[in-house]
Chains A and B, each alone.
Chain A
C-alpha cells in the first residue's frame, strides 16, 4: 500500500507539488483504488498478449517532403515569456 512518502515521490515524478495533508489524502484515496483494482490479479492471463493498440493498423507513414512550418509569431503567441524569438524560462539548476 502507498504511504505519504510514496505519494510525494510520485508527485515529484509528475512534477507536481503537494502539501503534507494533500499527500495524506491522496494516499488514502489511491490505496482505496488500488484495493479495488487488486482483483485483476485473480484473472488468468497466462499466454495472453497485451493489447497495445485497439485497432489493427501497422506501417502508417508519411513522405519525407518539407511543408511550411508554423509562422513564428503563431508559435510564440501563447508563450508566457519570450525573448529573441525563443521561449524564456527560469534558470535550470544543476547544469
Chain B
C-alpha cells in the first residue's frame, strides 16, 4: 500500500516519527489524484497549489499534515464552493465554515472540494451539475450520494478522509456503497455554520473515513459548541478515541423487525445478520424490537426536508452572488430565469414539492402532520434506547447500483428508508463495511445510538471492525 492508501492514524505515526515528511504524504495523494481522477471524478475543485503551500510551512495539531477532502457544500474562504450547482459555479465565499476553521487549526491539509448531488439532493451524485462521480469499486456504478465525491475520493486514495453532510443518509449511504466508515453525529454536535443548508432541522456534517479510529479522530476535531450556530449543543469535552475499545460484552442490540421483514437484496441482509451473529458471539445480547413509525419515515422526511429546502434555497436569486440570467426585463423575470436556468431538475422538483407542502391549505395536512409523526418516531426511538444500547440495521437495502439505472424520483426516495429515520430522530449513526456482494460491491452495516451516544456506537463499531477485519481492503483501481 502506498501512503495515500493509509489511514489518518497510520499517517500520523509516520509523520510524528519523521519516517515521512508532510510533502511526501501530500505528493502521494496528488499523484493518486492525477492517476485516477479522470475515471473517478470525485472532485469539483482541486487545491493542489494551496496544499503545497501549506505543507511547506510548519504544521501543528492532531491532523498535522493529513490531506483531507471537503464536500463542496461546506464554505471555504477564497475557494469556490459550488454545492455542485450551476447556481454557485463561480461563488467564492468570504468566510470559512466552522468545521473548516477547526481542520485548519488542527493542521490538516485540504486537497479540494468534492462532488455531490446538487444542493445535497440525491443519492447517486448523478445530480451534480458538473459531472458524475463513479464508484472506485466498480466504475460502472454510482458511489452513492449526496456525499458521493467525498466517499469516492477516500475509497480511491485521493484523500485520507473527507467531510460529508448528512440530511437523510448522505454520508452513510455513499460510505456504505464505497466500503468506508461514515458517521452522522447527533444533531447539534457539529456546527452547521458554513454548511449550505438543505434542511436545517436534519442536516449534520460528519466524517467519511477508512476506519473507526479515523472517524473518532476527525469527530474530535470537528465537534464542539459554536456560538455562531444556535442549534449547536454545549457538551463536556469528549475524547471520542477513548471509546476505541474492543468490548461487546453485555451490549444490548435491538434489531427492528421493520427493517428485516422487508424484501430487498438478500446478500445485504445475510451479510448484516452474519455480522450481528459475530457480535452476539462476543457477548452482545440481540433482540428483535418494533419501530412502527419507520413505515412513515420516508414520507415525513420528504415532506419536512423539501419544505425546509424550498425556503433555504430561495436566497439563490441572482442578486448578490452566483449565477444571474442575462435575459431579464425586470427583477421578477430575473429571479425566475436565474433559478430556472441554474437549478437542476431534481432541485426544482423538491422545491416545487416543498413549496406545495408549506402552502396555505396544505401546511396543516402535510407539514404539521409530518412534524407530529416525527414526534412519535422520536418517542419510539427513546423507548427502545431505554432498554438497548444500539439499534443495528443494514445501511442501505442495496449495494451500489449501476449508473443511470434508477430514473423515477419516487423509486430513489424510497431507497433512503434505512437512513432517514436517524436524521428525523436527531440520533447518531455509523456505517462500516460488513461484507461484499457476489459482485464485489461493499455492504454496509449501520449502528444507531441514542442522542449523544457516539461513544457507544464507536465502541461497538470498533469492536465489530476488529472482528470483520475488512478495513484494509482497497478497491483495485487501474492506477496508471
Chain A residues within CB distance 8 Å of chain B: 2, 6-7, 10-11, 13-18, 26, 29-30, 32-33, 36-37, 39-41, 43, 45, 48-55, 57, 60, 62, 70, 74-75, 77-81, 87, 89-93
- A29 and B412 alpha carbons, distance in the complex (Å): 12
| CB closest residue in chain B, given A89 | B331
With A37-B303, A80-B318 known as contacts, the answer to whether A45 contacts B356 (CB < 8 A) is: no
Chain B residues near A78: list those with CB within 8 A: 90-92, 320-322
- A26 and B351 alpha carbons, distance in the complex (Å): 11
Contact check, B343 vs A16: say whether CB atoms are below 8 A apart.
Answer: yes
Taking a contact as CB atoms closer than 8 A, the residue among A18, A36, A50 that contacts B374 in the complex is: A50
Contact check, B188 vs A50: say whether CB atoms are below 8 A apart.
Answer: no
B288 proximal to A (CB < 8 A): no
Which label, helix, strand, loop or mixed, suits the secondary structure of the A interface?
A: loop
Contact check, B231 vs A37: say whether CB atoms are below 8 A apart.
Answer: no
Which label, helix, strand, loop or mixed, suits the secondary structure of the B interface?
A: helix
Contact check, A17 vs B409: say whether CB atoms are below 8 A apart.
Answer: no
Taking a contact as CB atoms closer than 8 A, the residue among B295, B320, B370, B409 that contacts A33 in the complex is: B409
Taking a contact as CB atoms closer than 8 A, the residue among B187, B303, B410 that contacts A54 in the complex is: B187
Question: What mask results when residues 206 to 240 of chain B are scored 1 for a CB within 8 Å of chain A, else 0?
Answer: 00000000000000000000010011010000000
- Per the 8 Å Cβ criterion, residues 305-355 of B in contact with A are 310, 314, 317-324, 328-337, 339-340, 343, 348-349, 351-353, 355
Q: Which 8 interchain pairs have the tightest Cβ spacing?
A: A50-B371, A54-B426, A78-B321, A80-B324, A45-B372, A37-B299, A17-B336, A15-B335
Contact check, B322 vs A16: say whether CB atoms are below 8 A apart.
Answer: no
With A50-B372, A53-B201, A57-B230 known as contacts, the answer to whether A10 contacts B359 (CB < 8 A) is: yes
With A55-B233, A79-B321, A91-B331 known as contacts, the answer to whether A50 contacts B351 (CB < 8 A) is: no
B35 proximal to A (CB < 8 A): no
B293, B332, B408 — most chain A CB neighbours (10 Å) = B332
Nearest Cβ in chain B — how far from A26, in angstroms? 6
- A71 and B314 alpha carbons, distance in the complex (Å): 25
B94 proximal to A (CB < 8 A): yes
Contact check, B339 vs A14: say whether CB atoms are below 8 A apart.
Answer: yes
- A60 and B410 alpha carbons, distance in the complex (Å): 38
Nearest Cβ in chain B — how far from A33, in angstroms? 6
| CB closest residue in chain A, given B336 | A17
| CB closest residue in chain A, given B356 | A10
Chain B residues near A80: list those with CB within 8 A: 318-319, 321-324
B425 proximal to A (CB < 8 A): yes
Nearest Cβ in chain A — how far from B272, in angstroms? 26
- A18 and B340 alpha carbons, distance in the complex (Å): 7
Known: A43-B372, A57-B231, A57-B233. 19 other contacts (CB 8 A): A16-B340, A18-B340, A26-B349, A32-B408, A43-B296, A45-B376, A48-B376, A51-B378, A54-B201, A54-B424, A55-B188, A55-B233, A57-B230, A70-B94, A70-B95, A78-B321, A87-B320, A89-B331, A92-B330
Contact check, B352 vs A30: say whether CB atoms are below 8 A apart.
Answer: yes
Contact check, A37 vs B366: say whether CB atoms are below 8 A apart.
Answer: yes
Chain A residues near B365: list those with CB within 8 A: 41
A53, A55, A57, A70 — most chain B CB neighbours (10 Å) = A55
Contact check, B348 vs A26: say whether CB atoms are below 8 A apart.
Answer: yes
Taking a contact as CB atoms closer than 8 A, the residue among A6, A14, A90 that contacts B351 in the complex is: A14
B440 proximal to A (CB < 8 A): no
Question: What mask results when residues 65 to 104 of chain B are scored 1 for a CB within 8 Å of chain A, else 0?
Answer: 0000000000000000000000000111011000000000
Nearest Cβ in chain A — how far from B10, in angstroms? 35
Contact check, B299 vs A36: say whether CB atoms are below 8 A apart.
Answer: yes
A-B contact pairs, 10 of them (CB 8 A): A10-B359, A30-B353, A39-B296, A43-B293, A53-B231, A54-B424, A70-B95, A80-B319, A90-B330, A93-B331
Chain B residues near A41: list those with CB within 8 A: 365, 369
With A14-B351, A36-B410 known as contacts, the answer to whether A51 contacts B340 (CB < 8 A) is: no
Chain B residues near A13: list those with CB within 8 A: 355, 359
Contact check, A89 vs B319: say whether CB atoms are below 8 A apart.
Answer: yes
- A15 and B330 alpha carbons, distance in the complex (Å): 13
Nearest Cβ in chain A — how far from B337, in angstroms? 6
A11, A17, A45, A51 — most chain B CB neighbours (10 Å) = A51
B302 proximal to A (CB < 8 A): yes
With A16-B351, A30-B356 known as contacts, the answer to whether A40 contacts B299 (CB < 8 A) is: yes
Contact check, B355 vs A10: say whether CB atoms are below 8 A apart.
Answer: yes
